[in-house]
Chains A and B, each alone.
Chain A
Amino acid sequence: MKILVIDDEPQIRRALKLGLEKDGFEVTQAASGEEALDLLSTRAFDLIVLDLALPGLDGFEICKQIRTWSQTPILVLSVRDREEDKIKALDCGADDYITKPFGIGELSARVRAILRRARQEEAAHGAAMIEEGSLKIDQDKRIVTVKDQVVHLTPKEYDLLVLMINNRNRVLTHRQLLSKIWGPEYGDDNHTLRVHIANLRTKIELDPTRPEYIQTETRVGYRFVSRSNLY
């Protein structure tokens, strides 16, 4: 698996290279957007790690340019408290973000989540049986059990859960969730989404006040966190 790291800080690039190579990835570095676009025009990568705050051509612009000709997954590095930047990056075609400063373990998990999803898209859909800790989903029968107890989900709740599990460890924006489950015309109806997520949490989470599976990405969306199933 080939990863391109685009960051202007040499220390961060070095650390990412060392960390990701331990996980068996092949890492190429670029110090600027221009250099990255040059590399991308001649070589193929499986994933791009992109710092949003770059001098010169900024992260959003690079994202947009790459998306004009390639669907290579992009993970952006962003600063905390800048939710609008995160949303903007996702709108520009990024697949996920990670907040600085981050640990390599966390980054590696994000990278694998994105790659897993990319592979899954190629191989049609996932397995009929999904298992996440005490949560089990039989996709053929549309049955969900928690600790072997069947829980009754409405069709929308079920679709929402399956969509999030199929994108596990990856953020899905409010808009993405609403338009995939309810249709594009519901893109701004955050209230509906909140209510369904709250119901889903009371049904599948052991402690809905401290959700283990469905985590809130404030102002951006939700992320289904999988602790067992990283690949």
Chain B
Amino acid sequence: MWVKIIKTLDLIIVSLNRLTRTALSIATVCATTAVIAAFKLDTILANASMLYLLNVFIVGILAGRTAAIISSILSFGLFDFFFTQPLYTLQVGSPDEWITLLVFLFVSTVTGQLSAKLKESLSLAQKKEDEAADLARASWIVSSQLTFDQALESVLMQLIKLQSVKCAAVVTIDHEAKGETRETVRVARGKDGNSLDQIQSTAILQKIREQKLQEPDICSKIGISPVRSGAIYLQLDDNLGLLDSEKRLLEALVNHAGVVLQKEELSLEQNRTQALADADRLKTALLAMVSHDFKSPLTGIKASVTALLHAPALEGKGSFDAETRSLLEGIEIETDRLDRMVGNILNLSRLEADAWHPLIETCSIDEIVGSALQNFSSEDNARIRVGKHDFVELECDPVQIEQVVKNLVENALKYSTSEQMVEIQLERDAVWTRIIVEDRGIGIQAEQKELIFERFFRATAQQESAIAGAGLGLAICKALVLAHHGNIWAAPREGGGSVFTVELPNR
């Protein structure tokens, strides 16, 4: 009950201004004096002083420090004037009474200050509690919204409830190339809670873009992602500033809006990634289908012709004369060639469709080179020399790098005579691992050393030659090496021939 009474009194007194409060405290001291005089409570002097102290204490609680000091000095005066000998003068009879009065003054001042301080800390605690409740409510309202737009709107609806806010807007800023920015108003609300019209929105955008804010407007920036940021814009009433508690609420709401915008960005990003993954899957599926469509007839032809040629151990040479046999063998050889070409085209389209990502793993360079060399006949292998090297392990996609080595060696063999050797050197330094394929073949012209890695390019010298190939091998090598963040280049070799270098990062 007491708490209720004090709270009610408190509410009444808070609504008064300082002067009225001081006047009121003076009045209570006078009233106390009257009560003491009327009921003759001063027969025991200590009683009177206690009543004055109580009065000062209450004034301290209800009306604050200044009022407490004024009422304690006034009490001191009135106490001296009315109740100490000689009466009705401010003079004091004996030194003892001086001590009593001074102690009274000291105690009443301290009491007044202590009670005022108690009151202040109590009301501060109350204010903090209210503010925390407000913030919690604000965040609940924002986070309980279903969509990002609704959440942003609820931020604005809370902002425009603040007394001094005339209108509020959430703006997103996209940072584009060359330092340009593109601003968009996401939601904007006026004091009445309605959306702002086009003209008003444009005016806000203009202000933000030109960074010309008129006092006391506020624009709080929100970081979202490296290429996107946001801002909350508030147009304030000229005469009213924001209270500290309102500033804190604003700060909390700006943070909420930031979280909402970040979440939205994340979900957009997720959608984009999902779309890319879907497209990737589609491309892979399409290529697998095309691959299957090509491979099936090739498999049919190869299986059929080899079935015809197949000579079981028991039957000796088989049942064909030499001419038929050589024609059938021709079919087999040409089928293999067609298969290689189809393989190259498919690999290139997989690479171009970005549907053949390297699967990096630790593997052995010896195994990669060894597997690549398995693709060549023993006569070809006799022409290939692998240099000594003092490392084994390598981080790469073994299937893809094997393809690179195979294509480079195939090229080297193709463009040199059957007596010329092909050499594979393997080197490593702190950053790179290099696979170098050297030949003594026809070499490359300086102006063509970039062009040879282009699709369907064949060096002029070979265009009319009988050397087979559609000019895809090196293009595939380049794409595969680039996918590994490596480099590939060609150079003429000292003493004739060419050098192809593949450089892969050691990771």
B463 is an interface residue with CB less than 8 A from chain A:
no
A71 is an interface residue with CB less than 8 A from chain B:
no
B454 is an interface residue with CB less than 8 A from chain A:
no
Instruction: List chain B residues, Cβ under 8 A from A9.
Output: 296, 299-300
A187 is an interface residue with CB less than 8 A from chain B:
no
Known A-B contacts A100-B295, A218-B367; the reply to A18 vs B362 at CB < 8 A is no
A107 to B332 CA separation, bound complex (whole angstroms): 15
B303 is an interface residue with CB less than 8 A from chain A:
yes
Instruction: List chain A residues, Cβ under 8 A from B493.
Output: none
A152 is an interface residue with CB less than 8 A from chain B:
no
Instruction: List chain B residues, Cβ under 8 A from A219.
Output: 359, 361, 398-399
A208 to B399 CA separation, bound complex (whole angstroms): 20
Partner of A19, one of B297, B310, B314, B315: B310
Known A-B contacts A53-B292, A210-B373; the reply to A102 vs B299 at CB < 8 A is yes
Contact between A11 and B381, CB atoms less than 8 A apart: no
A140 to B364 CA separation, bound complex (whole angstroms): 33
A216 is an interface residue with CB less than 8 A from chain B:
yes
Most A C-beta atoms less than 10 A away, residue of B336, B359, B367, B369: B367
Known A-B contacts A81-B399, A190-B362, A209-B366; the reply to A15 vs B300 at CB < 8 A is yes
Partner of B307, one of A19, A198, A218: A19
Known A-B contacts A9-B300, A12-B303, A22-B315; the reply to A216 vs B367 at CB < 8 A is yes
B114 is an interface residue with CB less than 8 A from chain A:
no
Q: Which of A77-105 contact B (CB under 8 A)?
A: 77, 79-81, 83, 100-105
Contact between B303 and A102, CB atoms less than 8 A apart: yes
Contact between B303 and A79, CB atoms less than 8 A apart: no
Instruction: List chain B residues, Cβ under 8 A from A100.
Output: 295, 298-299
Known A-B contacts A19-B310, A209-B370, A209-B386; the reply to A12 vs B296 at CB < 8 A is yes
**Taking the nearest CB of chain B, how far is it from the CB of A101, in angstroms?**
4
**Taking the nearest CB of chain A, how far is it from the CB of B436, in angstroms?**
15
Interface string of A20-51 (1 = CB under 8 A from B): 00111000000000000000000000000000
Partner of A83, one of B332, B368, B399: B399
Contact between B303 and A15, CB atoms less than 8 A apart: yes
A72 is an interface residue with CB less than 8 A from chain B:
no
B349 is an interface residue with CB less than 8 A from chain A:
no
A190 to B361 CA separation, bound complex (whole angstroms): 10
Closest chain A residue to B303 by CB distance?
A15
A9 to B293 CA separation, bound complex (whole angstroms): 11
**Taking the nearest CB of chain A, how far is it from the CB of B414, in angstroms?**
20
B506 is an interface residue with CB less than 8 A from chain A:
no
Known A-B contacts A79-B291, A79-B292, A219-B399; the reply to A208 vs B303 at CB < 8 A is no
Contact between B364 and A198, CB atoms less than 8 A apart: yes
Interface string of B398-419 (1 = CB under 8 A from A): 1100100000000000000000
Known A-B contacts A210-B373, A215-B374; the reply to A79 vs B310 at CB < 8 A is no
Contact between B302 and A101, CB atoms less than 8 A apart: yes
Instruction: List chain B residues, Cβ under 8 A from A218.
Output: 367-368, 371, 398-399, 402
A198 to B389 CA separation, bound complex (whole angstroms): 14
B306 is an interface residue with CB less than 8 A from chain A:
yes
A191 is an interface residue with CB less than 8 A from chain B:
yes
Interface band, chain A:
35 or more
Closest chain A residue to B335 by CB distance?
A101
Closest chain A residue to B338 by CB distance?
A101
**Taking the nearest CB of chain A, how far is it from the CB of B383, in angstroms?**
12
Contact between A16 and B303, CB atoms less than 8 A apart: yes
A30 to B293 CA separation, bound complex (whole angstroms): 20
Q: Which of B287-329 contact A (CB under 8 A)?
A: 291-292, 295-304, 306-312, 314-315
Interface string of B369-401 (1 = CB under 8 A from A): 111011000000100001000001100001100
A219 to B393 CA separation, bound complex (whole angstroms): 14
A180 is an interface residue with CB less than 8 A from chain B:
no
**Taking the nearest CB of chain B, how far is it from the CB of A24, in angstroms?**
7
**Taking the nearest CB of chain A, how far is it from the CB of B380, in angstroms?**
11
Contact between B366 and A208, CB atoms less than 8 A apart: yes
Contact between A105 and B370, CB atoms less than 8 A apart: no
B343 is an interface residue with CB less than 8 A from chain A:
yes
Instruction: List chain A residues, Cβ under 8 A from B362.
Output: 190-191
Partner of A104, one of B310, B315, B369: B310
Q: Which of B123-163 contact A (CB under 8 A)?
A: none
B347 is an interface residue with CB less than 8 A from chain A:
yes
B339 is an interface residue with CB less than 8 A from chain A:
yes
Q: Which of A183-231 contact B (CB under 8 A)?
A: 190-191, 194, 198, 208-211, 215-216, 218-219
A24 to B299 CA separation, bound complex (whole angstroms): 22
A145 is an interface residue with CB less than 8 A from chain B:
no
Contact between A101 and B369, CB atoms less than 8 A apart: no
Contact between A101 and B299, CB atoms less than 8 A apart: yes
Contact between B300 and A12, CB atoms less than 8 A apart: yes
A14 is an interface residue with CB less than 8 A from chain B:
yes
A108 is an interface residue with CB less than 8 A from chain B:
yes
Closest chain A residue to B387 by CB distance?
A209
A77 to B303 CA separation, bound complex (whole angstroms): 12
A45 to B475 CA separation, bound complex (whole angstroms): 47
Instruction: List chain A residues, Cβ under 8 A from B314.
Output: 24
Contact between A16 and B370, CB atoms less than 8 A apart: no
Contact between A11 and B302, CB atoms less than 8 A apart: no
Q: Which of A91-150 contact B (CB under 8 A)?
A: 100-105, 107-108
Instruction: List chain A residues, Cβ under 8 A from B312.
Output: 22-24
Contact between B306 and A104, CB atoms less than 8 A apart: yes
Closest chain A residue to B315 by CB distance?
A22
A33 to B315 CA separation, bound complex (whole angstroms): 34
Contact between B366 and A19, CB atoms less than 8 A apart: no
Known A-B contacts A22-B315, A194-B364, A218-B399; the reply to A101 vs B373 at CB < 8 A is no
Q: Can you list 18 A-B contacts (CB < 8 A)? A: A9-B300, A11-B297, A11-B300, A12-B303, A14-B304, A15-B307, A16-B303, A18-B307, A19-B306, A22-B315, A79-B295, A101-B339, A103-B302, A103-B332, A208-B366, A215-B371, A215-B374, A218-B368
> Which residues of chain A have a CB within 8 Å of any CB of chain B?
9, 11-12, 14-16, 18-19, 22-24, 53, 77, 79-81, 83, 100-105, 107-108, 190-191, 194, 198, 208-211, 215-216, 218-219
- Please name 5 further chain A to chain B contacts, defined as beta carbons within 8 Å, in addition to the given A12-B299, A14-B304, A18-B304, sorted by A numbering: A9-B300, A22-B310, A80-B343, A100-B298, A211-B370
Nearest 5 A/B pairs, CB to CB: A19-B307, A11-B300, A15-B303, A103-B306, A101-B302
